[in-house]
Amino acid sequence: MNRPITILDGGMSRELMRLGAPFRQPEWSALALIEAPNYVTQVHREFIAAGAEVITTDSYALVPFHIGDERFAAAAETLARLAGTLARQAVEESSRPVRVAGSLPPLFGSYRPDLFEAERAPELLTPLVTGLRPWVDLWLTETLSSTAEAKSVREVLGDDPRPLWVSFTLDDTDDVATIVRGEMAPTLRSGESIATAVSCAREIGAETLLFNCSQAEMMASAIAAVRQIDADLSLGAYANAFVPSNKEGAANEGLSDVRADLDPESYDRIAVTWVDAGATVIGGCCGIGCAHIARLATTLQPA
């Protein structure tokens, strides 16, 4: 681990719940943004205190799937602007440099590449990009299930000069152990190969390719697969802590159970395998909290 490691934050939603913020479906993490934005700022502050060098705007749930068509049409840009403002406020309070990543989410439901509508994507992405643009240092389009979703983001961003990080979610609905053992190749939830993801990242000019919101144990396999194809592409990973499930439907239709065995120490041990495989950007997704990020910062950025 002699390469510099960038530490990301963790999942916003469970930290909002931990603090007692308003939280329910279908609004998910957007509810606190709408009703009690001080909680969002507090989560950002706590992730920074834990060691995060990049914090992610609370804009993941700013899609019709969560806030409804009517509210999205009326307030998506305003809410995105608020999400960017809160993240920037937390960064400006920090005594050390921290960057703001503008989260651009899956537009039609997480884990559902079959629902993606390319012709509608610009209409939904544009207010998010417009609202976030004044506040972010980089763009993070995350939890994407297909390369078509990533290409739509590049189309809307156009020639925006800020770095674009693209993060795909991996198919973990089958036996993850077969992937870990090398008996099955990891794929995106669309079924597309890792090679296709790499080609897409290069095509859209992504600075960093990441994998997120999948089982922690399989991330190293995906990172290693990328490294066999491309020795130079910047790579990252941030897993979720969900109990493995092969259920159908969008990931955030309900509140998924969190693994009892993925405490900060266990997550840290797994994250080290991602670094060994070639990742240099490490953080956490759903269910990975401030304590996990603090442990990663201690291990991966020793004084």
Partners of 209 in the beta sheet? 166, 235
Q: How far apart are CA 303 and CA 296, in angstroms?
A: 13
The tokens for 105 are: 């989410």
CA distance readout (Å), 167 to 45, 254, 280, 285: 24, 22, 14, 11
Could you tell me the fold of the domain covering 6-300? TIM Barrel (3.20.20)
| CB-based contact 99:131 (threshold 8 Å) | no
Say what the pLDDT of residue 3 is.
77
**Identity of the residue numbered 141:** T
Q: How far apart are CA 27 and CA 68, in angstroms?
A: 8
The segments of the chain whose pLDDT lies below 50 read: none
Write the DSSP assignment of 1-49 as a string of letters.
Answer: --S--EEB---HHHHHHHHT----TTTTTHHHHHH-HHHHHHHHHHHHH
Kindly tell me the sign of the dihedral angle through the C-alpha atoms of 166, 49, 239, 119. negative
Nearest by Cα to 167 from 60, 18, 42? 60
Do 179 and 171 touch, CB atoms closer than 8 A? no
The structure's pTM equals: 0.95
Q: What backbone torsions phi and psi does residue 130 show, to the nearest 5 degrees?
A: -65, -45
For residue 244, give the DSSP letter: P
